[in-house]
Structure 1
Amino acid sequence: MCADIVTPEQRSVMMSKVRGKNTRPEMVVRSLCHQMGFRFRLHRRDLPGTPDVVFPKYRLCLFVHGCFWHQHPDCKYAHMPTSKVDFWQMKLTQNVERDLRAQKALGIMGWRVITIWECHTKNRDLLRLEIQEAFNT
Structure 2
Amino acid sequence: MGPVTVPSWASSDAARRSMQSNRSRDTAPELALRHHLHARRLRYRVAYPPIPSLRRTADIAFTRARVAVFVDGCFWHGCPEHYRAPTLNAEYWAPKVARNQARDTDTTAQLRAAGWTVLRYWEHEDPWTVADMVEAVVRGKADLRRTAQPDRISIRCPGG
TM-score range, shorter chain: 0.7 to 0.9
Partner Cα distance (1:110, 1:57) in 2: 12
Q: How many residues align?
A: 127
**Kept in 2: contact 1:61–1:111 (CA 8 A):** yes
Q: Which has the larger radius of gyration?
A: 2
- Pairing of 1:57-136 with structure 2 (within 5 A): 57-73=64-80, 75-76=81-82, 78-120=83-125, 123-135=126-138, 136=140
Partner Cα distance (1:91, 1:54) in 2: 26
**Kept in 2: contact 1:114–1:134 (CA 8 A):** no
What residue identity is the alignment partner of 1:24? A
Q: TM-score, normalised by structure 2?
A: 0.72
What residue identity is the alignment partner of 1:11? A
What residue identity is the alignment partner of 1:58? A
Q: What is the percentage of aligned positions where both structures have the same residue?
A: 27
Structure 2 gap ranges (5+): 1-10, 141-154, 156-160
What residue identity is the alignment partner of 1:83? L
**Kept in 2: contact 1:65–1:117 (CA 8 A):** yes
Q: Measured at CA, do residues 38 and 133 of structure 1 come closer, stay the same or move farther in structure 2, by a change above 3 Å?
A: same
Cα distance, 1:46 vs structure 2: 4.9
What residue identity is the alignment partner of 2:106? R
Structure 1 gap ranges (5+): 1-6
Partner Cα distance (2:49, 2:34) in 1: 18
Q: TM-score, normalised by structure 1?
A: 0.83
Q: CA RMSD in A?
A: 1.8
Cα distance, 1:65 vs structure 2: 0.9
Q: Measured at CA, do residues 46 and 128 of structure 1 come closer, stay the same or move farther in structure 2, by a change above 3 Å?
A: closer
